[in-house]
Structure 1
Amino acid sequence: MVTTIGGPRVLLRQLRETMAEPLASQARLDKIVGLIAENMRADVCSFYVLRDDGALELFATKGLKAESVHMTTLRLGEGLVGLIASEAEPLSLDDAPSHPGFAYRPETGEDKYNSFLGVPVLRAGQTLGVLVVQNAERRHYGEDETEAMLTTATILAEMVATSDFDNLIKPGSDIDLRRPRMFNGVSFTDGIALGTVVLHDPRVVVVNFIAEDTDAEKLRLDNALASMRVSIDAMLDHGDMQPSSDHREILETYRMFANDRGWVNRLTEAIENGLSAEAAVERVQNDTRARMLRQTDPYIRDRLHDLDDLANRLLRVLTNTNQQGQRELPDNAILVARNMGPAELLEYDRKKLRGLVLEEGGSTAHVAIVARSLGLVAVGQADSIVSMCETGDDIIIDGSAGQVHLRPTPDVEQTYIDKVRISAKRRAHYAALKDKPSVTKDGVDITLLHNSGLVADLPMLDDTGAAGVGLFRTELQFMIASKLPRLQEQVDLYAEAMEIAGDRPIVFRLLDIGGDKVVPYLRSMAEENPAMGYRSIRLGLDRPGLLRTQVRALLLAARGRQLKILVPMVTETFEFRQTKLVVFKEMERLRRAGEPVPSRLELGAMVEVPSLLFELDQIMPEADFVSIGSNDLVQFLTAADRANPRVSKNYDPIGLPRLRAIRLVVDAARRHNKPVTMCGELAGRPMEALALMAIGMTRLSMGPASIGPIKEMVLNLDLKPIQDSVAAALTVGADGVAIRELLTEWVEKQNLPMG
C-alpha cells in the first residue's frame, strides 16, 4: 500500500489555511483538490457536486482535463461516482475500468487511470457530492486512506453548504441540498400558511472542525461521554421512572448506544484523523444517518431518531450549549419539530407563529388540538423533514391536503398565494352567513359553538356568529405558566372570558391535565399508559386543594352571572357526585363570606370513558347537561392510541360501532331531557358532523375555523331522510353498509357543500 505524505492531520491543517486565504471560490476548490491529490499520492483528485436536477457535476479536478470542469456530468447511479452518491458508501478498486458500473467520459481523459477510491460527501445524512482519487498504477487503497478521505469530505461538506459556494453554481440550478422538497403528511388543521422555518430543536452548529491537539480532543470527548452517561443514568435512576414506561425504554436505548464501543471507537478514530471532537461526532453521525436512511426496516429507521438525539446531546455537552427554550421568532414563523408537547407549543409568540410541522403525532394528539385552538395551520407525520431543512428556509403548509412544501419553487409559491386569495374570498363568504340562523331546510335547529382555551380566541365569536363556547379548556393557562396560577390569576382569566362572551353561554371544563398535557410544576410519577392514568378529574379529586381553588376561582369570576362547569373524564357516577359536593361546599363558603354567587349554576359531565355508557341512566339525573369528548371516547372504544398514527387511522370514528355508542348518549339525553353537546374533533369535520346530526345530535362545538363550512352545510341540508337512512343502517349487523359511504351518497344526492 502506498502511504500518504503527511497523513490526514497535515492535510486538514493545509485545508484550514486554504479556507482562510483570500481566494475566489473556484481557485480555492482547485487548490483543495490539488492538496488532497498531493497528500494521497494520487495522480487525480476530483470533486463532484450533486445538483438539484439529480446530476453529479464535476466542480474541480487535479489530473483530469481542465476543460471537463463544469461540463462533465453523471446521473445518480450512473458510473462509479453515481453509484457512490446513490448508496452513500465508499468504493475502492484497483482496476476501475473493469467494474461493470464504470462509465467512461472521453472529455476527462481518465481512461489511463486504474486505481480508484471514492467517498460520499455527506451533511445530515444527505449526499452533497462525491470526492474521488485515482492512480494510473494499480494499487489498493486501504482503510486508513478511506478514513482520511471521509474525514476530508466532512470539511468539504461544510464548504458546499456555505453561501461562498453559490457563485460556482450555474444560473437556474442549485445544489441538491437546497432543492425543493414536498412531504405528504397528515392534516391537523385546514388552511394554508406561507412562512420561514424555525427548528424547535435547532442543531448544534459546529464551528471548529480541525483539531489543534488530538490528545486534548480525545480527552474532551471522553469527558463529554462520561458527563452524558452520568446524566442518562441519573434520569434512569430517578424515583419516578417506572420500569416499563416508554420514556425509560428510550433512555435505556440511549444508554446502550452511549456505551457502545464500536460507536466510541469510530469517534476516536475520526479525532485521530485530525477532526475536533465536535466534528468527529458530526462525521460519524453523518455516515450512520446515510446508511440507516437507506434501510427499509422500520425498526432500524426508528433507531435513527435515537442516534440523532444522542449525537445532539453529546454535541451540546461538547459545545456547552443548552437546548434553547423560547426564542425570538421572525414574522410568519413555521415551527418544525420531530414531536412536541402542547405546553412547549404554547411557549412561542402566538402573534408571529403561523404554522406547525411535525415528523410524528396524530391529528387528535393534544398538541394538534392546541394548534387548532391557536389558529395555526398544522401537519404531522412529515417524515424526515427535520434533517432536510434549516432555520430560515422558505416553507408552505397546505393543511387541507396534509402537504408541506420546503423551499418551494416560484411557481408553487405563486399557486399558493393565489389559493390564499381564494381562501380569503371563501372566508368572506362564510362571514356573510354569520347572522343567519343555523337551521336545516326541513326546520331542524343546529346549535354551533366554539371550542376554545385562550382568551385570544374569544373575539372570533363575533366573526363566526357562533352561539357561544361549548368547551373552554382551562388547562391551557396552567400549561403556559411557569408556576401554579394563583387564585386571583385564575379569577381574572375566567372573568375576562365571560366578559368577552357577553350574553353567550360559555362552558368551562375543569382542569384536564396528565397524559401528554404536561405541567412541569405539578410533579407526578411516570406512567406506562398516561392517557388512561393519573389525569383529569382523578387528579383533581386526589388533590382537592387544586380542585377547590379552581372551582372557587370560577365561582368568583361569575360575579352573579350564570356559570356552566364541565367535569372531564368521568368514569362512574360516584366521581361526578364527589365533584358536585366540592362545588356546593365552595358555593356555601362564598355565601357565608358575603361574596356574590352565580345566579344560575349548571354542572355537566363529559362522556369520554366507555364505562359511563353503562351508567347513562344514573349520570343523567345528576347532571344538568352532558358533553361528549369524542377524541378520548373513540381511542378507548377502539383500544387505539390517538397519538399513534400506526393504529389511530385504522378505525373510522363514524364507523358503525362508534356511531352506535354515541347514539346511546344522544338517546339517553333525550329520555332525561338533558342537553347533549359534541365537543370532540368530529364536530368540526363536515362528513362527521353530518353523521352526528343524523343520529340526533343538534349541538356541535368545534374550532372557530370550522363554523362557516358546517353552517353552510346545515343551511343546505334536508336532514330527515338522512336520519331515517342512517337509523336503518345502524340496526343492521356488522355486514351493513358503511356509514361514510352512505353519507357520501346523500351528500351527492343533495349536492351539499362540504367545506
Structure 2
Amino acid sequence: MPERGATGPRVLLRRLREVMAQPASAQVRLDRIVKIIAADMVAEVCSIYLKRQPQVLELFATEGLNPDAVHKTTMRVGEGLIGDIAANAAALNLADAQASPKFAYKPETGEDPYQSLMGVPILRDGRVLGVLAVQNQTRRHYTDEEVEALETVAMVVAEMVTGDLIDPASLSGEEGRIGPRLVKGLALCDGVAIGTAVLHEPRVEVHSLIAEDPEAERMRLLRAVDELRASLEELFARAELGAMKGEHREILETYLMFAEDKGWLRRMTEAVEQGLTAEAAAERVHNETRARMLRQTDPYLRERLHDLDDLTNRLLRKLVGEETAAVYALPDDAVVIARAMGPAELLDYPRDKLAGVVLEDGSPTAHVTILARALDIPMVGRVGEMADLLRTGDPVIVDGEAGEIHLRPAPDVLEAFRAKTKLRAQRRAAFARARTLPPVTRDGVRIALNMNAGLPFDLPHLAETNADGIGLFRTELQYMIGSEMPRLNAQSAFYREVLDTAGDKPVVFRTLDLGGDKLLPYGRQLHEDNPALGWRAIRMALDRPALLRYQIRALLEAAGGRALWLMFPMVADVTEFDAARALVDHELGRLDRFGKPRPADLKVGAMLEVPSLAMRIRAMAGRADFISVGSNDLLQFYFAADRGNPRLAGRYERLSPAALGLLRHIVTEAEAAGIPVSLCGEMAGRPLEAMALVALGFRALSMPAAAIGPVKLMVRSLTIATAERFILDRLTSPAATIRRELEEFAFHEGVIV
C-alpha cells in the first residue's frame, strides 16, 4: 500500500467538518465520512461499527466491503478482531489480519481479499461506542502516525454519532426512569440521607472539534491550564481546609500534583498540533486515558483515574466558560449523583447543603471516600449507570449503612426512613451517654471492645468512642496510598504516631496483607486465576522476607521500649507462623547489637483466616501469644463462597449453625491451649452477630469505630448465661440460619440489637 499523502490530519479533519455541517441525515454523513477516510488513508476499506446494544456491534457504514452487509453484519464485543478492539478499548494494527487466531470470518462482507487491518475504538467519555477500521489488500504494518490520525478521526466520529445514531440509554441496558426503584451498591460512608437528586457536573459538551488556528488553540490550552492550577490552589487554601492535617491534607496535595503533571499537558498539546481544538484535545486525552485505566485491576491506579476525570472536567469548563454545578442554586438537601468524583469536587459543594453522595464507581480507599468520612457525609458507591435512572430534582434516599439507594421512594418507604433518621439521632444520643460506661454485661462479664484502623484519620476515633484499644491496625494501607514504598524512617514515624495517640491502650498491628485485591501502585502485577487464594499476605512475606523484616524493624523501633502487639495475616499452618516469628527474633537481635531498646512487652500472634489453622490451634500453644479470628475471610473460605458476590449472598450466612459451630470450636480449642482469642471482622460490628459471638465465648471484639456505640449498648443489655444456653442448644440445628430465632430471643430478653 502506498504511504499516506501529505494532507495530514488537519486537512482530513477539515474535510470531515464540512461533511458534518451538511444538511443530510446522520447515515448519509456517515457514508460520506468512510469514503473520505479511505481516500485520505489510501485504504481499500474503511468501516464503522457501532453498538446498538451493550454487547453487540453492528456494521453501520463501509467503503470497500459489500454495502449489503451494512446493518446486517453484527458481532459481539470480544468476537473477532473488531470485537477485540471494542472489548479492550485499544487500537489493533495487524499486517496479516486473517492469520490472527481472533479473526472471525463474516462471508457476507466480502472481506476475503484484504490482509492488513488497523482499527481503533470510538470512545466517548471513556466508554466504547464502536470501532473505526481500515483495511488493505497488501500486507503492511501501519505507522504510529497513521494510528494516531485514525484515533483523532474516531473522536470526531464519536461526537457525531452520539445522539444521532446511538441512544446512550440503550448502551447501558437500563430500562429508563420509571417509578420507585431500589439500587444496591457498596456502603462507603455511614449514615442516612433523605434529599433531592442533583446530577454532578453535567457533561461539558464539546461542540468545536477542529481548529482553525492551531497556535491560538495551543495558547488557549496553556492559559486554561494556568487558570485551573490557580483555582485549585485557591480552593485548597480556604480557611476551613487549611486546618486539615495528616491524611486529608496529603490527599489534597497529591491531587494538586496531577494538575502539575507535564505529561498530561504534553499529550494535550500534541493533540492540538494534530488539528484539534483545545477542548477536543483535552477530551481525547481523557478518553484514551480513561479507557486504558478502566482495564487496570490495580485499585490504586483506578482511583487516580478519578482525580484525572475531575481535572479534565475542570479544564473543559475553563475552556468553554461554564461554571461548576456546585455554584448553582442547590436545594438544602442535595444528594449529589456522580459517576466518580475527586476530593476537590466534593469540597466545591457547600457542606450545609450536601446531604449525601452517590457514586457510580467508588471504593473504600478512594480519596473522595476518605474525605467524605472525615466530613460525615453518607455515601454509597458502585451503583452502575445511576445517571440514566433519574433526573435532577428526583427524591432520593441514601442508606449508607445497607449500601442502598431508593430512587423516587414510595410514601411508605419515605416515612420509614424518616423514622429511621429520628431513631438514628436518638441512638447517637444514647451512644454518647454510654461513651464512658464500661461494656459489662448484666451478669458482670467485661467484654473488650476495640476498634479497627489503618489510616491517620482513624486515630481520633479512639478517644471519641472510648474503645479499649485498636484490635486491628491494617498496615498495608500506608503502602497502598503512596506512589512509592515508604522508607524505614517514614514507617517508623507513622507507627510511633499511632502508639503515641493510643497512649496506654493496646494497638495490634497486622503485618502487610498484600496481594489479592490489595495491589501496590509501584509493584509488579501478577495475573492469578484466583487471587484471594493466591500469593498474598504471609505467603508473599515469607517468599520476600526482606519486606517483612523491613516492616518488623520499623515496628520495633517505633515501640521504643513500649509494649508492642503484632500479628501475621492468613497463617495456614504452624510452620508459617514459626518462620515469621523467627524473623521477629532476628530483628530483636539486631536491636541488641545496635544498643536499641526492645519493646517493654512484645506479643506476637496469628490471624486465623484459613480454616486449616482452626484444626491446629493446640499446636500453637507456646508459640502464639494470641489469636485473632478474621471472620470475613475465614467464613468466605469455609463456605467456598465469595462474600462480595451477590449471587452467593444466601450461601454466606454468618449466623448459620455451621459458621457458629466453627467459631465455638475455635474458642474451646484456644481455651484448651491457653491462648487468648479475639475476633475482628464484620460480625463483630453488628449487634445481633456480636451477641452471638459473646454467647459463644468471645470476650474481645474489634470493629469499625462507628460500631462501638451500638455494640456497647447490646453488651450492657445482655445476660451471657441466658444467651449461651440459647445458642449452644441450636448449634446442631439443621436450619440454614438461626438469625430469626436470635432476633426473637433479643426481643424477649430486652437485648438492644
TM-score w.r.t. the length of structure 1 is 0.57
Superposition map of 1:149-168 within 5 A: 154=164
Partner of 2:192: 192
Cα deviation, 1:694-743, whole Å, max 9, x if unaligned, reads 211111100011111111111111221221121111144xx258321221
- Which 5+ residue runs of structure 2 have no aligned equivalent? 1-15, 30-123, 126-156, 169-174, 213-276, 284-289, 296-303, 315-325, 328-332
* SS of structure 2 residue aligned to 1:623: coil
The question of 1:729 aligning with 2:739 is answered no
Work out whether residues 540 and 546 of structure 1, in 8 Å CA contact, stay in contact via their aligned partners in 2: yes
The question of 1:13 aligning with 2:21 is answered yes
Q: Supply the distance in 2 between the matched residues of 1:467 and 1:437 (Cα, whole angstroms).
A: 10
Superposition map of 1:43-54 within 5 A: none
Partner of 2:748: 749
Letter in 2 for 1:13: A
C-alpha spacing 1:311/1:406, structure 2 compared with 1 (3 Å): farther
Work out whether residues 306 and 340 of structure 2, in 8 Å CA contact, stay in contact via their aligned partners in 1: no
Q: Supply the distance in 1 between the matched residues of 2:198 and 2:581 (Cα, whole angstroms).
A: 45
Q: Percent sequence identity over matched residues?
A: 41
Of the structure 1 ranges 397-406 and 179-188, higher mean CA displacement relative to structure 2 is found in 179-188
Partner of 2:536: 535
* SS of structure 2 residue aligned to 1:577: helix
Q: Supply the distance in 1 between the matched residues of 2:447 and 2:348 (Cα, whole angstroms).
A: 32
Aligned-residue offset at 1:557: 0.6
Work out whether residues 729 and 737 of structure 1, in 8 Å CA contact, stay in contact via their aligned partners in 2: no
Q: Supply the distance in 1 between the matched residues of 2:208 and 2:407 (Cα, whole angstroms).
A: 29
Highest Rg: 1 or 2?
Answer: 1
Q: Supply the distance in 1 between the matched residues of 2:344 and 2:538 (Cα, whole angstroms).
A: 23
* SS of structure 2 residue aligned to 1:621: coil
Q: Supply the distance in 2 between the matched residues of 1:543 and 1:333 (Cα, whole angstroms).
A: 49
Question: What is the total number of aligned residue pairs between the two structures?
Answer: 507
Of the structure 1 ranges 488-497 and 717-726, higher mean CA displacement relative to structure 2 is found in 717-726
* Structure 2 counterpart of 1:325, from 302, 307, 321: 307
Letter in 2 for 1:154: D
Superposition map of 1:687-698 within 5 A: 687-698=688-699
Aligned-residue offset at 1:418: 8.7
Superposition map of 1:130-141 within 5 A: none
Cα deviation, 1:383-440, whole Å, max 9, x if unaligned, reads 4325557999997521235432569999999997896576344322201101111111
* SS of structure 2 residue aligned to 1:604: strand
* SS of structure 2 residue aligned to 1:507: strand
Aligned-residue offset at 1:206: 5.0
Work out whether residues 362 and 648 of structure 1, in 8 Å CA contact, stay in contact via their aligned partners in 2: no
Letter in 1 for 2:496: A
Q: Supply the distance in 2 between the matched residues of 1:637 and 1:494 (Cα, whole angstroms).
A: 33
Letter in 2 for 1:654: L
Partner of 2:54: none
Q: Supply the distance in 2 between the matched residues of 1:589 and 1:335 (Cα, whole angstroms).
A: 54
* SS of structure 2 residue aligned to 1:432: helix
Aligned-residue offset at 1:13: 3.0
The question of 1:718 aligning with 2:719 is answered yes
The question of 1:525 aligning with 2:526 is answered yes
Q: Supply the distance in 1 between the matched residues of 2:608 and 2:367 (Cα, whole angstroms).
A: 21
* SS of structure 1 residue aligned to 2:513: coil
C-alpha spacing 1:404/1:731, structure 2 compared with 1 (3 Å): closer
Work out whether residues 176 and 388 of structure 2, in 8 Å CA contact, stay in contact via their aligned partners in 1: no
Q: Supply the distance in 2 between the matched residues of 1:371 and 1:603 (Cα, whole angstroms).
A: 33
Cα deviation, 1:649-703, whole Å, max 9, x if unaligned, reads 4321221111111111111121123221111111001111111112111111000
Letter in 1 for 2:587: E
Q: Supply the distance in 2 between the matched residues of 1:515 and 1:356 (Cα, whole angstroms).
A: 28
Partner of 1:501: 502
Work out whether residues 490 and 553 of structure 1, in 8 Å CA contact, stay in contact via their aligned partners in 2: yes
C-alpha spacing 1:212/1:360, structure 2 compared with 1 (3 Å): closer
Q: Supply the distance in 1 between the matched residues of 2:544 and 2:622 (Cα, whole angstroms).
A: 27
Letter in 2 for 1:523: R
The question of 1:459 aligning with 2:460 is answered yes
Q: Supply the distance in 1 between the matched residues of 2:751 and 2:693 (Cα, whole angstroms).
A: 16
Partner of 1:591: 592
Q: Supply the distance in 2 between the matched residues of 1:686 and 1:589 (Cα, whole angstroms).
A: 45
Superposition map of 1:226-375 within 5 A: 323-325=305-307, 327=310, 357=358
Cα deviation, 1:625-663, whole Å, max 9, x if unaligned, reads 100111111111111122322224432122111111111
Q: Supply the distance in 2 between the matched residues of 1:403 and 1:736 (Cα, whole angstroms).
A: 28
Partner of 2:13: none
Q: Supply the distance in 2 between the matched residues of 1:576 and 1:155 (Cα, whole angstroms).
A: 62
Work out whether residues 197 and 334 of structure 1, in 8 Å CA contact, stay in contact via their aligned partners in 2: yes
Partner of 1:569: 570
Aligned-residue offset at 1:379: 3.6
Letter in 2 for 1:742: E
C-alpha spacing 1:509/1:401, structure 2 compared with 1 (3 Å): closer
Q: Supply the distance in 2 between the matched residues of 1:597 and 1:311 (Cα, whole angstroms).
A: 45
Q: Supply the distance in 2 between the matched residues of 1:391 and 1:430 (Cα, whole angstroms).
A: 36
Work out whether residues 185 and 405 of structure 2, in 8 Å CA contact, stay in contact via their aligned partners in 1: no
C-alpha spacing 1:197/1:479, structure 2 compared with 1 (3 Å): farther
Letter in 1 for 2:483: S
Partner of 2:83: none
Work out whether residues 362 and 369 of structure 2, in 8 Å CA contact, stay in contact via their aligned partners in 1: no
* SS of structure 1 residue aligned to 2:478: helix
Work out whether residues 395 and 405 of structure 1, in 8 Å CA contact, stay in contact via their aligned partners in 2: yes
Partner of 2:738: 739
Partner of 2:646: 645
Q: Supply the distance in 2 between the matched residues of 1:524 and 1:156 (Cα, whole angstroms).
A: 37
Q: Supply the distance in 2 between the matched residues of 1:399 and 1:442 (Cα, whole angstroms).
A: 34
Work out whether residues 185 and 380 of structure 1, in 8 Å CA contact, stay in contact via their aligned partners in 2: no
Question: RMSD of aligned C-alpha atoms?
Answer: 5.4
Q: Supply the distance in 1 between the matched residues of 2:377 and 2:506 (Cα, whole angstroms).
A: 25
Work out whether residues 373 and 703 of structure 1, in 8 Å CA contact, stay in contact via their aligned partners in 2: no
